[in-house]
Amino acid sequence: MDAATNPYTPGAGTQPRALSGRERELDGFRVLRARLTHGLPERGIVLCGLRGMGKTVLLREMARDARDEGWRVSFVEMRRGTDLRDALTAAVLEQLAGLSIRERALGAFSRTMGLVRALRATIAPEIQIDVDATDLLTVGRSLEADLGELLARLGALARDQGIGVAFVIDELQELDAEGLAALCAAMHRVGQEELPIALAAAGLPSLPGLLAEAKSYAERLFAYPQVGLLPDDAARRAIVEPPRKVLGDDAPAIDDDAVERMIAFAGGYPMLLQAIGKHAWNRATGNAIGLADVVAGEQDAFDDLSRELFLARWQRATPRERDYLLAVAGAGGSCSSAEAARTANFGPTTAASVQRNTLIAKGLLWAPERGRVAFTMPLFERFVLARHEHEPAH
């Protein structure tokens, strides 16, 4: 079939033509915004799930919904080494630039912009801002205090204008402990002051624990929806609806056995549904997608994931970390920490703890329960075992 009209979108964070099975999470953010609009307190939302579950897609849909309701929205993707102060002050500047400031708010606007400059955010050179001495006295106490003050000022301006502000943050687990603590403290303050600032964030399953370690009250500060595997009915809609939405009545048919094979291949992962859909479509030569097209497309989908998702993460691992990954892969992608240490010849379990912890920090492993480890990405065990055939163990 024509690749130019392929309706499946397996790219990272790329919005699918049919977003199915995530209505509860989207409704949760709508309720959060509605409560803040009415001056009522509500916890922020932190989506947690493995890679390939569609968390970034969900965040982008939440951002789109908020913008459609007239909210000001900043989307921030955290990366390893991101400076939270710079990331959020730059996002606040974006919000300030878009607010329609009434005459009575000009003084507050000027003071808040001065605080942004004092906090070292990058500001276009044509924007001239005088920094008040009180701003210089305000900043520098601590990251927590500085960000709390900045968000409180922004929230007060937004409230005066009858506008809500949403910060949508992806890969939140990449922040260090200081950054997570500062974010918690800042959101705690705006919540206490009942300001219309909403937070929707996403990260790996380890994120709730990281936030709780940063601030003990984080357990009460945020709701933690678990973004899990799609049920079969939602997976089926994700397969059959995109062609109809793109091509209408001209959409090709998909044989029932081909749909079932796609569902089985994906195992509930939205990312894999899009990947197998794309390659089955490209393999098809007739006016319908058949079972043979799906079977042929499975290797294509895996090859794409290997190049675009797995390889870079594998290369970040040290030789001994790769031994640990191989042990987990040999156990099917999940096993006890003791089994992984024994299989990788680390000796006592404690000798492997450093490798385990660094692999968790790199986002390759997570701990589904105490004493167990598992991969964070679907099909990664297949990739690791294939790499082992070409790379000797250490």
17-21, 224-228, 375-379: segment of lowest average pLDDT: 17-21
- Does residue 100 surpass a pLDDT of 70? no
- Does residue 128 surpass a pLDDT of 50? no
Give the number of C-alpha atoms closer than 13 A to the C-alpha of residue 78, restricted to the C-beta side: 24
- Does residue 130 surpass a pLDDT of 50? no
- Does residue 16 surpass a pLDDT of 90? no
User: Over the range 272-295, which residues count as b (16 or more CB within 10 Å of their CB) and which as e?
Assistant: bbbbbbbbbbbbbeeeebbbbbbe
- Mean per-residue pLDDT for 366-378? 93
Q: Domain 231-309 class?
A: mainly alpha
User: Hey, do 23-223 and 316-388 end up sharing a CATH topology, with the first three levels equal?
Assistant: no
- Does residue 133 surpass a pLDDT of 50? no
State the chain's mean pLDDT as an integer.
Answer: 87
Separation of alpha carbons 307 and 158, rounded Å: 44
Q: Which one-letter DSSP state was computed for residue 162?
A: T
- Does residue 43 surpass a pLDDT of 60? yes
How far does CA 219 lie from the centroid of its chain?
19
pLDDT for 84 equals: 79
How far does CA 42 lie from the centroid of its chain?
21
Domain locations in the chain as residue ranges: 23-223, 231-309, 316-388
pLDDT for 221 equals: 95
User: What residue type is 2 in one-letter code?
Assistant: D
Give the number of C-alpha atoms closer than 13 A to the C-alpha of residue 29, restricted to the C-beta side: 31
pLDDT for 86 equals: 74
Q: Mind listing the pLDDT tens digit for each residue in 293-305? A: 999 999 999 999 9
- Mean per-residue pLDDT for 101-118? 52
- Mean per-residue pLDDT for 77-101? 75
Q: Are 190 and 217 in contact (CB under 8 A)?
A: no
Out of 2.40.30.10, 2.60.120.10, 3.30.70.270, 3.40.50.300, which CATH number does the structure's domain 23-223 have? 3.40.50.300
Select the highest-mean-pLDDT range: 63-72, 88-97, 116-125: 63-72
Q: What is the pTM (predicted TM-score) of this model?
A: 0.85
Separation of alpha carbons 212 and 180, rounded Å: 9
- Mean per-residue pLDDT for 339-363? 85
Model confidence at 103, pLDDT cuts 50, 70, 90, reads very low
User: How much of the chain is in helix, strand and coil states, percent to nearest 5?
Assistant: 60, 10, 30
Separation of alpha carbons 346 and 263, rounded Å: 38
Look at the block and give the residue holding tokens 């006016």.
287
303-307, 346-350, 384-388: segment of lowest average pLDDT: 346-350
pLDDT for 259 equals: 97
- Does residue 172 surpass a pLDDT of 90? yes
143, with CB counted inside 10 A (0-12, 13-18, 19+), is buried
Model confidence at 118, pLDDT cuts 50, 70, 90, reads low
pLDDT for 75 equals: 94
81-85, 137-141, 198-202, 275-279: segment of lowest average pLDDT: 137-141
Select the highest-mean-pLDDT range: 77-81, 324-328, 337-341: 324-328
Q: Are 375 and 326 in contact (CB under 8 A)?
A: no
- Does residue 161 surpass a pLDDT of 90? no
As a dihedral over the C-alpha atoms of residue 185, residue 187, residue 188, residue 193, rounded to 10 degrees, the angle is 130
- Does residue 361 surpass a pLDDT of 60? yes
Model confidence at 119, pLDDT cuts 50, 70, 90, reads low
Separation of alpha carbons 253 and 259, rounded Å: 10
CA 164, 166, 167 angle in degrees (round to 5)? 155
CATH 1.10.10.10 for domain 316-388:
yes
Separation of alpha carbons 178 and 151, rounded Å: 17
Considering only residues 34 and 126, tell me which one the structure prediction assigns the higher pLDDT: 34
- Mean per-residue pLDDT for 175-184? 92
Separation of alpha carbons 173 and 131, rounded Å: 33
Structure tokens at 382: 């297949």
User: What residue type is 48 in one-letter code?
Assistant: C
